[in-house]
Amino acid sequence: MNIEKQLETAVRTNHLVLVVFYADWSPHYEWIGPVLRTYEKRTIELVRVNVGEDKAIADAHNIDTIPAFLLLHKRNELWRQVGELTVEELKDVLDDFK
């Protein structure tokens, strides 16, 4: 499934959707998947967007600096972080919106 379709499907659910914008030369934040799996019943969907391959999606969300993170629910932006993010910071944000 392409990223645009994956994002569209994810935002139609009742789950929180964490969108991670990155580039091949930037950190891929591989630790995010395992962190999200610690939340019960998969209440959070993860969508990774490579801005080099999917610039239109980054542009649609006004992303011009990476890494960037968006937390969405039903197409509404709940939270945005541009720049580095630690495991603890992500857990705090997710706990606030759970």
Whichever domain contains 49, its CATH number is 3.40.30.10
Q: What is the pTM of this model?
A: 0.87
Counting the structural domains of the chain, the total is 1
In the predicted model, what is the mean pLDDT of residues 65-85?
Answer: 92
Q: What is the mean pLDDT of the chain?
A: 87
pLDDT value of residue 1: 62
pLDDT value of residue 77: 95
> What is the span of the domain harbouring residue 7?
1-95
Q: Could you tell me the maximum CA-CA distance found in the chain, to the nearest angstrom?
A: 33
pLDDT at 41 over 60: no
Starting at the earlier edge strand, list the strands of the sheet with 16-22: 44-50, 16-22, 68-73, 76-82
Beta-bridge partner residues of 50:
22
CA 41 to chain centroid: 18
If one counts every other C-beta atom within 10 angstroms of the C-beta of residue 5, the result is 9
